[in-house]
Structure 1
């Protein structure tokens, strides 16, 4: 319900851009963040603003991106422990500054939540967390810092990853007009042109699902999995893995392995359709060729929400708008370079002109 409402707000905002180019990733980040905060704290925290996005939302996105960069940056102290205290790369100093910014942001959210506490907030995630701080249950008591740490984990994992994945999906569809035409024809046949896509439509859109799977394969939200520690010594493909070793799974490389994928660098959603080379493969950790959410007991806890979010927003953007790159750039010339960090960001944000293609009433504030 919350996701559908935020998608409608995003659609209306894009339609009112007055032919101005918009940075799609910024708007998607607002949509993803508000969806998550409505679930977590019962309200939206950002708006799109008169210029397309709330400056506070832009600041928040920059904080999350910096967090992901610092989490994945090379740090000499990690490899030469006795030099760690020198902070030669300045990682700790930057992390402390970022911590202060996040602390101020999270403190304001908690304080506003406590001031506006009412009956509607009784079943909200943050209310439950704060109740464990004030009234411990079964020996479980949370401190202020632990509550903020949990919120930070949720914001870090649940906002930037879906918005960046959708931005990659739209970039690929713009670069591959045949795929755009095919996914749009499928949606038109199921949904029509007099309403927007809903979550109930998604199971009936196999090509759209294939587009999302192919996007996850080429552009996984986290190119390296979160670290694991080996509990016992073992040998894998002739490599000795000692007990206690830190392990990182290269999800990005697995999705581009020529031993597993034909034309691995090509965007080919058809490979995931029935009869295709990977027709029975999903992205839920059951098939190790493509594991954007990880696998096993430590698979991403937000996988279900994230997958629906990516599918619904990609479907809505492809269905509701025609897309033109800023300054009339040829789609074949679109920069697809990746930025370094724990999450897979575009090096150059996708700047586009959205052109509404459905019934006009769907983009008005009075539409249901």
Structure 2
């Protein structure tokens, strides 16, 4: 899972107040900075204010957009300061290659601020854990036991069952008017993920989704205590710690119920299906592992939350954007539907076996990931040892952000970078051959190197199947004669960058939807 950063509402007043109250002369700051940086060639950046640093440059815009605009003026590697925290921003393929390949080990860790410490309480899981032996052990568990291609494939019957349920929900909703496809997609991905993780649908799924949605709006790293970690006053003034504690308690209670029911079933000799779900695997490993870093129940809960975030939330966001872009680009929609219906002619439903030859559908997914990476700034890294990137010295301890959104729209790498053109990935020189698995650094929606997103295969399996099924079974149009170019494509700030408004579409059945 990746991470977009947004300035919380509570910061707006505090930042202005701090700027007005700052009494440290700018000249003194400039001289002292020059002394402390003697002998180092730091990345450039815009002008800063006392106390708040460069935060005012992000005001009024989504951070990944504001940082792209700053990079156009100051270069592909910038050094900013968010309050007390130095932050290096990479906005080019060359800078990203050095961070994620040349010096990958130096940038393999994650910064853990006050809010993340409150959330994890020593059990950071996989996504946010600092680099080290404990993380390597957990990473091996996830890549070998939980998220391997073989394991993900074993859950295909769940995905196919849930996509059938999605289609029937669309048919039912279409009888009364436009379908809220955003809600239906979110429910499909959540139910499919929950069943793969725990073996059954969650009774209070909607409550869990609401907590997850609220949680991604409180972004670790951008709260007042994270920006001013040495200030006790910042911790007292901020409402975020209380919000985090409450959501943490409720989400862990949700997971407690699932784990307790599973443990009670096993104690009573009741087993699930032939295929182990992910919770079964984790509980088995917890019992069998003899390690310096035991797999605690809290570790298991955090890993499950990581799986939801990396595989569920991002998949839902990508499906939403893919359908929105196809509606906005009728020619791409027509070509995608023609391919799906041609390759699946004679089939009564879409299965994962039938996806093999859907070449253009995969181009649509690639182009969606280029324009709308679920986490436009990925997850933050930390500089663990001094090193140089693009000839500049990166300070040890600095937070490092890679602007995957800006890199995917870089005119130096992409023709017509703001346009939705899936064909670019099959054209020589226009993107053909580029992939998103971490080897082409001009296209890194899932990151690269040691910290590449481990849930990539799990998430893409949902996207391909659901998108193919929606295009095969239905024709789609915008409500009330809305013109495609008038669609609202505004992004919502948060941990992932969702489309701000729900996607309301008129669904017209084309092929019969299979019954249960």
Does the residue aligned with 1:81 lie in a helix, a strand or coil?
coil
**Selected match of 2:206 from 58, 63, 68:** 58
Deviation at 1:77, TM superposition (A): 2.2
Return the alpha-carbon distance in structure 2 between the equivalents of residues 363 and 328 of structure 1. Answer: 30
Are positions 1:90 and 2:226 aligned together? no
Return the alpha-carbon distance in structure 2 between the equivalents of residues 320 and 212 of structure 1. Answer: 19
Deviation at 1:85, TM superposition (A): 5.4
- Structure number with larger C-alpha Rg: 2
Aligned to 1:364: 515
Are positions 1:24 and 2:181 aligned together? yes
Q: Work out whether residues 26 and 58 of structure 1, in 8 Å CA contact, stay in contact via their aligned partners in 2.
A: no
Are positions 1:153 and 2:306 aligned together? yes
**Selected match of 2:433 from 270, 280, 283:** 280
Are positions 1:102 and 2:251 aligned together? yes
Does the residue aligned with 2:218 lie in a helix, a strand or coil?
helix
Q: Work out whether residues 307 and 455 of structure 2, in 8 Å CA contact, stay in contact via their aligned partners in 1.
A: no
Q: Work out whether residues 271 and 277 of structure 1, in 8 Å CA contact, stay in contact via their aligned partners in 2.
A: yes
**Selected match of 1:235 from 375, 384, 388:** 388
Does the residue aligned with 2:361 lie in a helix, a strand or coil?
helix
Are positions 1:79 and 2:251 aligned together? no
Q: Cα–Cα, structure 1 residues 103 and 321, in superposed 2: closer, same or farther, change >3 Å?
A: same
Deviation at 1:238, TM superposition (A): 4.0
Deviation at 1:73, TM superposition (A): 6.5
Counting matched residue pairs gives 354
Structure 1, residues 29-78: CA drift from partner, whole Å, max 9, x if none? 221122222222112225xxxxxxxxx43332221122222125732322
Does the residue aligned with 2:447 lie in a helix, a strand or coil?
coil
Does the residue aligned with 2:508 lie in a helix, a strand or coil?
strand
**Selected match of 2:166 from 1, 6, 10:** 10
**Selected match of 1:335 from 488, 501, 510:** 488
Q: Cα–Cα, structure 1 residues 268 and 100, in superposed 2: closer, same or farther, change >3 Å?
A: same
Are positions 1:312 and 2:460 aligned together? no
For CA contacts below 8 A with separation 6 or more, give which structure has more relative contact order. 2
Unaligned runs of 5+ in 2: 1-155
Q: Cα–Cα, structure 1 residues 334 and 41, in superposed 2: closer, same or farther, change >3 Å?
A: same
Moved more, 239-248 or 68-77: 68-77
- The two structures, once aligned, show a CA RMSD in angstroms of 2.1
Return the alpha-carbon distance in structure 2 between the equivalents of residues 119 and 102 of structure 1. Answer: 25
Q: Cα–Cα, structure 1 residues 192 and 276, in superposed 2: closer, same or farther, change >3 Å?
A: farther
Deviation at 1:324, TM superposition (A): 2.5
Q: Work out whether residues 185 and 316 of structure 2, in 8 Å CA contact, stay in contact via their aligned partners in 1.
A: yes
Does the residue aligned with 1:71 lie in a helix, a strand or coil?
coil
Does the residue aligned with 2:183 lie in a helix, a strand or coil?
helix
Return the alpha-carbon distance in structure 2 between the equivalents of residues 129 and 275 of structure 1. Answer: 45
Aligned to 2:271: 119
Does the residue aligned with 1:119 lie in a helix, a strand or coil?
coil
Q: TM-score, normalised by structure 2?
A: 0.65
Moved more, 35-44 or 79-88: 79-88
Return the alpha-carbon distance in structure 2 between the equivalents of residues 276 and 190 of structure 1. Answer: 28
Deviation at 1:176, TM superposition (A): 0.6
